[in-house]
């Protein structure tokens, strides 16, 4: 059985740049992908430090891009969860989502209107509409406010 050849450290930089050229990545994502390709963590970490110092790699930029792409369908709770899953630090998540609080109610109403458009007829339908908003990452108080205001 042949052993897999040791990856060349010179190719590491090229592979990392190629991944970043396709889309933004978090530091954690990029490290995971490079290590899965067979590169040693001891070689990956200094390269990622260099990329961050040159601003080629930025968790904040990734988070801003992610939120911009997903905010139309998701509330802050879901966005924060998805960013944490991708390795974005909580401090960055808080900073990025802080500006989204103003538009959260409008987004929740838009998501609700697109799905339902009519007020709930009974308690079961109201519960279903609330669950829908909660599953899309809007908090309970906001979901109650949307369903209650649309029922009037």
Neighbours of 144 (CB within 10 A): 15
Check residue 3 and give its pLDDT.
Answer: 42
Read off the pLDDT of residues 8-30 as tens digits, 9 standing for 90 and up. Answer: 767 999 999 999 999 999 999 99
Number of structural domains the chain divides into: 2
Dihedral (CA of 137, 142, 144, 146) sign: negative
Q: Please tell me whether residues 107 and 95 are part of one structural domain.
A: yes
Note whether 44 and 80 are same-domain residues. no
Q: Contact, 17 vs 33, CB < 8 A?
A: no
CATH for 20: 1.10.10.10
Residue 152: pLDDT band (50, 70, 90) is low
Are both 46 and 67 inside the same structural domain? no
Which three-class secondary structure string do you get for 70-127? Answer: HCCCCCHHHHHHHHHHCCCCHHHHHHHHHCCHHHHHHHHHHHHHHHCCCCCCCHHHHH
Predicted structure pTM score: 0.81
Q: Are residues 114 and 79 in the same domain?
A: yes
Q: Does residue 3 lie in a domain region?
A: no
* Residue 7 pLDDT: 62
The per-residue pLDDT for 19 is 96
Query: For residues 147 and 152, what is the distance between their CA atoms, to the nearest angstrom?
Result: 9
Same structural domain for residues 40 and 69?
no
Instruction: Flag whether pLDDT at 108 surpasses 90.
Output: yes
CA distance linking residue 124 with residue 115, whole number of Å: 16
Q: Which domain holds residue 84?
A: 60-151
Query: Average pLDDT of 53-74?
Result: 94
Within 8 A by CB and 6+ apart from 49, the residues are none
**Cα separation of 12 and 9, whole Å?**
5
The residue-averaged pLDDT of 98-111 equals 84
pLDDT at 39 > cutoff 80: yes
Sorting pLDDT into bands at 50, 70 and 90, what band is 87?
Answer: very high
**Would you state the pLDDT for residue 99?**
73
Q: Within this chain, do residues 77 and 18 fall inside the same structural domain, yes or no?
A: no
State residue 4's pLDDT score: 46
Cα–Cα distance list, 6 to 2, 35, 39, 65, 129 (Å): 12, 12, 8, 35, 54
- pLDDT above 70 covers a percentage of the chain that reads 91
């Amino acid at each position: 059985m042949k052993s897999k050849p040791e990856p060349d450290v010179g190719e590491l930089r090229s592979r990392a740049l190629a991944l970043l050229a396709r889309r933004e990545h978090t530091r954690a994502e990029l490290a995971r992908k490079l290590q899965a390709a067979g590169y040693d963590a001891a070689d990956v970490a200094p390269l990622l430090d260099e990329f961050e110092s040159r601003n080629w790699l930025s968790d904040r930029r990734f988070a801003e891009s992610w939120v911009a792409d997903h905010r139309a369908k998701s509330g802050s709770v879901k966005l924060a969860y998805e960013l944490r899953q991708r390795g974005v630090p909580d401090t960055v998540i808080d900073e990025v989502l802080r500006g989204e609080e103003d538009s959260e109610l409008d987004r929740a109403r838009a998501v609700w209107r697109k799905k339902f458009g009519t007020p709930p007829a009974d308690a079961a339908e109201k519960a279903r509409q609330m669950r829908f908003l909660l599953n899309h990452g809007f908090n309970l108080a906001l979901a109650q406010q949307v369903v209650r205001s649309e029922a009037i």
